Amino acid sequence: MKTPFVTLEQVEELVKEYPTPFHLYDEKGIRENARKLKEAFSWNKGFREYFAVKATPNPFLLKILQEEGCGTDCSSMTELMMSEALGFQNKDIMFSSNVTPEEEYVKAKELGAFINLDDFTHIEFLERTCGIPETIFCRYNPGGFFKLGTDIMDNPGDAKYGFTKEQLIEGFKILKSKGVKNFGIHSFLASNTVTNEYYPMLAKVLFELAVEVKEKTGADIKYINLSGGVGIPYKPDQEGNDIMEIGIGVKKAFEEILVPNGMGDVSIFTELGRFMLAPYGCLVTKVIHQKHIYKEYIGVDACAVNLMRPAIYGAYHHISVLGKEDAACDFKYDVTGSLCENNDKFAIDRMLPKINIGDYLVIHDTGAHGFAMGYNYNGKLKSAEVLLKEDGSAQLIRRKETPEDYFATFDFCDILKDVKY
């Protein structure tokens, strides 16, 4: 059973000022989760979380994470600019990009960010573009399939990211000859894992790799970045990760592999996005239509523009009908938006309480890769983002888009200036 962090009474007050749909975030939950992650890795004196900005690029939320000691993981120019504007600087920023334009490397170098190279050919590209810094990370791709138990399988060999092991070893030799003094290794093998075994297994792979690379290159490996991949239980019957157990598992691998090889001072980094924020955000939407044809449809005022994961992945997001949390789920519905696409559905054949027009729905776990993936198909406008603060008050942290925003990039804006809407 998933319980919303907001009540019907709270939403009825919120909508007086912020009409649906809107994304709502829970400040208390965000802060508590960040502190728990930090505690789980407190055994490593250099540990730091670099929040994946792409998951939830909102400056108010980044500021909360900054206050909790997190850095930012950026993948584009605008994410670097946002981090800079918020006061993240130097080693507060990890720049992990691929197919990277010159100007983005230049910006990252100007900021003094950690640069994480995605490809062997980027060594020469970076040197020609802006020069090679004294500290550099390289992303490792082990190839083949990554399998963990019966549930987790991914295919690094089909991913566009990273160096092969041979390229990594040769790359470290080249970078060392060009003046690099401090090295980091980064890898990402699987997405949204709901198991306490993923990070420890990834850590073992990277720790053993670090020992081998150090032996073969003499590189001083200061950092190992476990990246993201620790997921959340989107379905109510799933058991979530225990970050404390995960921290213990990584510590065990650290003490078994790195410490005996004289690498006990290596700092561990993470780049979590979904784990950090997804459960602490939801999409609040209002039922505006019902349709009775071959199936029963519930039409809401949100659509895939506001949350596209169900449309593109068939991803499950739990839905609560506010005020009916304890009611029997004995009605089967498709919950849909208004786009001219049949995949614009938040749920298909979902058992829910009886829904009436005017009911408010909470679509859970949208705090990461929710608003961030929005778009403007059908001329739809992105919704507002609202923060439910620790003291119970609400703060608008991104206003909803307006038609003026949508038209602003057209050269013929003057033609539209007198249009009424």
**What is the helix (H) or strand (E) element at residue 115, kind and residue range?**
strand 114-117
What span, in angstroms and rounded, lies between the C-alpha atoms of 174 and 60? 41
Q: Active site includes 70?
A: no
What span, in angstroms and rounded, lies between the C-alpha atoms of 165 and 208? 12
What span, in angstroms and rounded, lies between the C-alpha atoms of 272 and 53? 9
Buried b (16+ CB within 10 A) or exposed e, 122-143: bbeebeebbebbebbbbbbbbe
Question: Which is the catalytic residue, given 282, 329, 340, 413?
Answer: 340
The count of other CB atoms within 10 Å of the CB of residue 179 is 10
Token code pair at residue 131: 């020069």
Phi then psi for residue 93, to 5 deg, are -120, 130
Note whether 181 and 135 are within 8 A (CB). Answer: yes
Note whether 91 and 112 are within 8 A (CB). Answer: yes
Q: Write the DSSP symbol of residue 345.
A: E
Question: Nearest Cα to 50, choosing from 240, 294, 225?
Answer: 225
Question: Nearest Cα to 241, choosing from 233, 249, 252?
Answer: 233
Residue type, 95: F
Residue 21: asked if its preceding bond is cis (omega within 30°), the reply is yes
How many angstroms separate the Cα of 98 from the Cα of each of 76, 108, 152, 209? 9, 13, 25, 22
Catalytic site residues? Answer: 340
